[in-house]
A and B are shown apart, each in its own frame.
Chain A
Amino acid sequence: MGRTVLVTGVARHLGARFAAAIARSHGVDKVVGVDVQPPAEALPPGIDFARVDLRRPAVARVIAEHGVDTVVHLNVSAMGPGGRSAVKETNVIGTMQLLGACQKAPGVRRLVVKSTTGVYGSAPRDPAVFHERMQPKELPAGGFARDAAEVEGYVRGFARRRPDVAVTVLRFANIVGPVGDTPLCAWFTLPVLPTVLGRDPRLQFVHEDDAVEVLRLAALDPRPGTTNTGTFNVAGDGVLLLSQCARRLGRPTVPLLRPALGAVAGLVRQTRLADISPELIQLLTHGRVVDTTQLRETFGHTPRFTTAEAFADFVAAQRAGLLPPERLAAVTDRLAALLGQDDRRTQEPMPR
């Protein structure tokens, strides 16, 4: 008998893509997607959709009704319908309700939770590269990272109470792809990028294809020689500096003093172009890099896209900025070609 997979947050882009991928996987009989809002993109056939508000206990009924054995909790995200308080409630209360329902469901065998590398925070006094077992010096003060840290706490509690359930927590770096729906991606779409003066943070990205694949592998039985339970950092290889990202994207940066950036963030929030949260400012100040040895060696997956490739895929889907790198390169190429010509011009008379 195949598996029955419950996917929360299926109305979102990542949720929908994951649901489609897991439905095609070998050994999966049924996929049930739940979300508080109807899916934005039509779900592929074969996926049952149930409109459930995770903050209510109704999800227990869905689990019992469909005989769910694998729960993939993707409804932990930085952005969502409603304000910040609604998002926080969905993240934290929603997880508590879901875990409560799972605890009461003897059929549940596997739980996969989407988290973020944001749980490590961004601070100048932390090591440059975070491993899974490191504790940040200061816990995230608020925002999505705090939600994720709390969610992980509840998941650890659940894992203690239900040792028979295989629990996987995946800490994703910023997920990018042709469709980027994270606060950082929204920030990158601003015509001029406000940055912090005197800072050039290191950023890491993971491509959404890799994110979907890692989630899929975590939801299935482990392949021989690998372990897919535990906590794993998920990020593309390599690092991009913010200045590199801006140049590759072709958008000019405006370095601001940190307090001024706070004021700009307020303005931008009012225009609803992007939400520059305090934790995003923190990320833009100190950056964050995680180690992915565990993902590659224990979990057994090497991301197909490096950080740079993932970002390039995001760039390709964006409108050209004010300083497109191709044009800047054309000017220097032109000058270089000129030098070449000039070389010949000056070398010709030399033998005389």
Chain B
Amino acid sequence: MTAARKTEPADAKVIPIESAPSWHAGSPAGGGFADRLAEAVGGALAGQLGATATKVLGKGWEDRAASGLAFLRRRITGDYEVDEFGFDRELTEEVLLSLLRPVAEKYFRVEVLGVENIPAEGGALIVANHSGTIPLDALMTQVAIHDHHPHRRHLRMLAADLVFVLPVAGELARKAGHTLACNEDAQALLERGEVVGVWPEGFKGIGKPFSERYKLQRFGRGGFVSSALRAGVPIVPCSIVGAEETYPMIGNFRSLARLLGLPYVPITPTFPWLGPLGAIPLPTKWTIQFGEPIPTDGYPREAADDPMLVFNLADQVRETIQHTLYKLLVQRRSVFF
């Protein structure tokens, strides 16, 4: 299955590049090229290659190749849709999640608990703890929700503005359905009935030293609670165990971070000592648990502007996540297994 998936884009890529020169010669040459190509491929498939392909890729590889070609056709002609936030559903499902899935399943062996706490439809706000220097925990949560939820829901994450300042990262984040962590975007997504993910600890959580692992940091100003109250959607607390140990941060190059305009530059037991090798996360065993949803539709609309209530709810969510973390840590056999 994975072999077939990988080969499709590979032969796919060759076609436009090889055929490009003949287009300049006008359409007859283009048609001629397509014919020659068809003949060559057809001949090869009828002969030895077809049998080999069936043997190697398994039965039904033609169907997969055909759907791969259909995918390619839509991509190269721009015939696909993105939403207002730049979410490219097809690219996310076919490419981005496929790339992340092995990391989640094989490398971190993510165990997902309580996914039924995410509603089947309508908006919900997932609030989770943040850790591990690089927001891998957020990406793994996205894979976990999509793969384990019966309705294959997509998590729309609220990311730090740093992500959107960076080239490539910003582009990929938008295509994967993420947007800037601000009240306007959060509310717009929740009101559209999307599952929105937020990591309210932000850089304080992800960039905390290893000695403070699994200690939840301050939850910002609780803006996420106001957004949920305004949209009247439930808040689902989410506890992630395992991400803390992927990059144990034992130090921080403060001056370099300031120079580069980054919130921190981590020093781990392997980074930067081993160079790029040190950037490989440790293969820890992960657990992601979604807790009981906290309903917010019982409050009046103006509750969002009541700081007392907002702080109380934020505290309640924080306590729930912290307690679940402790419970999961006690149950954990080892960091790596």
Residues of A within 8 A of B50 (CB): 342, 345-346
* Residue from the list B45, B73, B179 in contact with A338, Cβ < 8 A: B45
Q: Are A128 and B85 in contact (CB under 8 A)?
A: yes
Interface size class of A (residues with CB under 8 A): 35 or more
Within 114-157 of A, Cβ neighbours of B (below 8 Å) are at 124-129, 131, 134
The chain A residue sitting closest to B70, CB to CB, is A336
Asked if residues A327 and B30 are in contact (CB atoms below 8 Å), the reply is yes
Which stretch of B36-44, B92-100, B103-111, B281-289 is in the interface?
B36-44
Interface residues of B in 71-105 (CB under 8 A from A): 72-73, 75-86, 88
A328 nearest in chain B by CB position: B76
Identify which of A13-21, A35-43, A57-65, A242-250 touches chain B: A242-250
Complexed CA–CA distance, A338 and B175 (Å): 32
Give the chain B neighbours of A248 by CB distance below 8 A: 77-79
Interface, chain A (partner B; CB < 8 A): 124-129, 131, 134, 196-200, 202, 238-241, 243-248, 286-287, 289, 291, 322-325, 327-343, 345-346
What are the residues of chain A within 8 A of B182 when measuring CB–CB? 127
Contact of A336 with B167 at beta-carbon distance under 8 Å, contacts A325-B77, A342-B46, A342-B62 already known: no
Q: Is B165 an interface residue (CB 8 A)?
A: yes
CA distance A238 to B70 in the complex (A): 23
**Interface size, B (range):** 35 or more
A259 → chain B closest CB, angstroms: 12
Given contacts A129-B188, A325-B77, A346-B54, contact A339 B69 (CB under 8 A): yes
Q: Given known contacts A331-B19, A332-B15, A336-B66, is B170 in contact with A125 (CB within 8 Å)? A: no
CA distance A133 to B256 in the complex (A): 39
Residues of A within 8 Å of B79, CB to CB, are 248, 325
Q: State in angstroms the CA–CA spacing of A211 and B167 once bound together.
A: 33
Contact B86 A239 (CB under 8 A): yes
Question: Which B residues touch A238, using CB under 8 A?
Answer: 81, 84
Taking A128-B179, A202-B86, A245-B78 as contacts, is the C-beta distance between A196 and B167 under 8 angstroms?
yes
Q: How far is the CB of B197 from chain A (nearest CB, A)?
A: 15
CB closest chain-A residue, reference B71: A332
Our pick among A199, A324, A329, A340 for the contact of B170 (Cβ within 8 Å) is: A199
Taking A128-B185, A239-B86, A241-B88 as known contacts, 13 extra A-B pairs with beta carbons closer than 8 A to each other, sorted by chain A number, are A125-B161, A197-B167, A200-B175, A247-B75, A287-B86, A325-B79, A331-B37, A332-B15, A332-B73, A335-B41, A336-B70, A342-B46, A342-B50
- Which residues does chain A contribute within 8 Å of B73, judged by CB atoms? 328-329, 332-333, 336
> Are B170's CB and A129's CB within 8 A?
no
Residue pair B171, A200 in contact (C-beta under 8 Å): yes
B187 to A, closest residue via Cβ: A127
Find the B residue at minimum CB distance from A248: B78
Q: Mark B132-151, 1 if CB is under 8 A from A, else 0.
A: 00000000000000000000
Looking at the complex, which one of A125, A331, A346 makes contact with B165 (CB distance below 8 Å)? A125
List 12 A–B pairs whose Cβ atoms lie within 8 Å, in order of A's numbering: A124-B161, A124-B164, A124-B165, A127-B182, A129-B84, A198-B170, A241-B86, A248-B77, A286-B164, A323-B23, A331-B19, A339-B69
* Contacting pair B45 A342 (CB below 8 A): yes
**Would you call B78 and A334 a contact (CB within 8 A)?**
no
Q: Which of A129, A200, A246, A345 sits near B85, CB closer than 8 Å? A: A129
| Contact assessment for A134 and B167 in the assembled complex, using a CB-CB cutoff below 8 Å | no
Q: Flag if A331 contacts B85 (CB, 8 Å).
A: no
State A291–B188 Cα separation when bound (angstroms).
Answer: 10
Residue contact B16 to A239, C-beta cutoff 8 Å: no
- The answer to whether A334 and B38 have CB atoms under 8 Å apart is yes
Q: Which residues of B lie under 8 Å from residue A345 when comparing CB positions?
A: 45-46, 50
Q: Are B16 and A331 touching (Cβ within 8 A)? A: yes
Q: Does B154 contact A (CB under 8 A)?
A: no
**CB-based contact A239/B15 at 8 Å:** no
Given known A198-B167, A238-B81, A245-B78, contact A128–B86 (CB-CB < 8 A) = yes
Chain A residue contacts of B166, Cβ below 8 A: 198
Q: For B184, list chain A residues within 8 Å (CB).
A: 127, 129, 131, 134
Q: Do A330 and B45 have beta carbons less than 8 Å apart? A: no
Task: Decide if A289 touches B180 in the complex (CB within 8 Å).
Answer: no
In the complex, A333 Cα to B46 Cα: how many Å? 19
